A and B are shown apart, each in its own frame.
Chain A
């Protein structure tokens, strides 16, 4: 932000003194849309459509200078998979550049580097002092050869403060059945998927050409993590798992469709190296607050899971697909939000024939680096109406989260490509 401002100053002084003030004002002022971009927000908050990218905007990151990078699920018409957006007037931004020829999900930035992932590889790009990719042609591959069998393909990424990068490698199955998603098909013994997927892998962020052998399986038994973030207070990685699907479809004698819509919870885990969250052997029942044996592995809806598996840190409604996790460290929002978690729920499909759910951003309060108290729906109505949400036909699907330099919350949408900006306006 600072350098953008000084650029403005220089430029403007060259033109005329009076324009300087205008430029400054335009840059600083963030104007919420009259309808808050269609979102329902807590009192005192406003929202605007910061930009329309027209692409499937997966994850998003903001550099210290206020440039926004958006990872597209697949390359746009120009063949580019990463968009760079520059702030314009009134809090909005516009696409000002594009790099990378691959689709994917993960994107992350530090002051020095932009990191991005395809569904198989992780790249980095050197950023200049303005936060721009200095040499777009010069991408450095830091990790390659990660497994991609389409299902749970997103290689979401985040970094810790010690130069490690964490990569989700989702399990390419629902519950490690002999025949995936087939009714009555049993679980494969000692699930072999876990060797190369179904967990979080740790690599060095500054080493090129790493493969599986150079990394560490940091945590396992995680079916698919799309949202993850490093919690600075706890100095710990937190992840959001997409829980298993189809309990009733595949085990109709054990689960009704109603039960299947509410089971299992989407879980938040606080990870330590070596943790095992138990997929595919167990699922988490939020009503009983218990880890239950999966029916593919002899469970019957009543049997608790045995074995030493990680307890979730928090639980959320089934199938709502948490696609982004962000610990808020800004000062724009009121005190209660500081160091708490925002979670973008992409929205469900596997609750049918029950009404679908999700398509919102949740706030989870934290205290001393741990979830504290109940979550609340923070930004709702990305779907456009309750009917569209219930029908699973939303207008927008929140997928990525990022914190702006001023503490605004950016939300990306991978259905229409809208970039939202949520601000707190003291009134």
Chain B
């Protein structure tokens, strides 16, 4: 399974732009091991300038719950550092923003608050903020493009 995922990831690495526009990468039911995607696509170090637009979106819409350090709030708001959702499959992550999330156990912990849907943000804003989150708070993972967000949005069923 793990090898299969790495293979998939590697495939996605080669055909990413096309795949992203046509259909999102297959959805894995289990938690995607963060290492697999990291191994498949080593994140290029993103400059602070490249992360600035995402940081702006984060400060306006996310910081209130997930806090400035991305550490979340005990039992209330999930942390964004090193979680399987943040580092895992991108379509699943994009859907968290498009649809919101509530009552899902995250890495063995439950959170009482509600993650509202952010479907009113543009593809670019969602791509920027997720790129920022995946490369802040000690995270290091590949960027998310607006084309990837667009593709997920196109097939997104609430």
Residues from chain B with a CB closer than 8 A to the CB of A182 are 100, 116-117
Assuming the A-B contacts A182-B116, A183-B120, A352-B68, are A73 and B63 also in contact, with contact meaning beta carbons closer than 8 angstroms in the complex? no
State how many angstroms separate the Cβ of B65 from the closest Cβ of chain A.
7
Residues from chain B with a CB closer than 8 A to the CB of A73 are 75
Residues from chain A with a CB closer than 8 A to the CB of B111 are 150
Check B64 against A352 for contact (C-beta < 8 Å): yes
Residues from chain B with a CB closer than 8 A to the CB of A353 are 59, 63-64, 68
Residues from chain A with a CB closer than 8 A to the CB of B76 are 349
A338 within 8 A of B: no
Identify the interface centre among B69, B76, B111, B114: most chain A CB within 10 Å of its CB: B114
By DSSP majority rule, is chain A's interface helix, strand, loop, or mixed? Answer: loop
Contact of B73 among A151, A179, A349 (CB under 8 A): A349
Residues from chain B with a CB closer than 8 A to the CB of A40 are none
A249 within 8 A of B: yes
Residues from chain A with a CB closer than 8 A to the CB of B120 are 183
Check B112 against A392 for contact (C-beta < 8 Å): no
B67 within 8 A of A: yes
Bitwise interface map of A from 338 to 380 toward B, beta carbon under 8 Å scored 1, else 0: 0000000000011011000000000000000000000000000
Residues from chain B with a CB closer than 8 A to the CB of A150 are 102-103, 110-112
A127 within 8 A of B: no
A92 within 8 A of B: no
Bitwise interface map of B from 80 to 111 toward A, beta carbon under 8 Å scored 1, else 0: 00000000000000000000101100000011
Check A350 against B116 for contact (C-beta < 8 Å): no
Residues from chain A with a CB closer than 8 A to the CB of B112 are 150-153
B113 within 8 A of A: yes
Instruction: Give the contacts of A200-252 with B (CB-CB under 8 A).
Output: 246, 249
**Bound-state Cα–Cα, A249 to B118, Å:** 12
Measured as residues with beta carbon below 8 angstroms from the partner, the interface class of chain B is: 20 to 34
Assuming the A-B contacts A352-B67, A391-B69, are A397 and B74 also in contact, with contact meaning beta carbons closer than 8 angstroms in the complex? yes
Count of residues in A whose CB is under 8 Å from the partner chain: 24
**Bound-state Cα–Cα, A399 to B59, Å:** 29
Check A179 against B117 for contact (C-beta < 8 Å): yes
Check A151 against B64 for contact (C-beta < 8 Å): no
Residue of A nearest to B120 (CB): A183
Check A415 against B74 for contact (C-beta < 8 Å): yes
Check A349 against B65 for contact (C-beta < 8 Å): yes
Assuming the A-B contacts A150-B103, A349-B77, A415-B74, are A392 and B67 also in contact, with contact meaning beta carbons closer than 8 angstroms in the complex? yes
A33 within 8 A of B: no
Residues from chain B with a CB closer than 8 A to the CB of A180 are 114, 116
State how many angstroms separate the Cβ of A371 from the closest Cβ of chain B.
29
Check A352 against B63 for contact (C-beta < 8 Å): yes
B71 within 8 A of A: yes
Task: Please list the residues of chain B having a beta carbon within 8 angstroms of any beta carbon in chain A.
Answer: 59, 61, 63-65, 67-69, 71, 73-77, 100, 102-103, 110-114, 116-117, 120
What are the nearest 9 A-B pairs in CB distance?
A349-B73, A182-B116, A181-B116, A150-B112, A180-B114, A249-B64, A181-B114, A151-B112, A150-B103
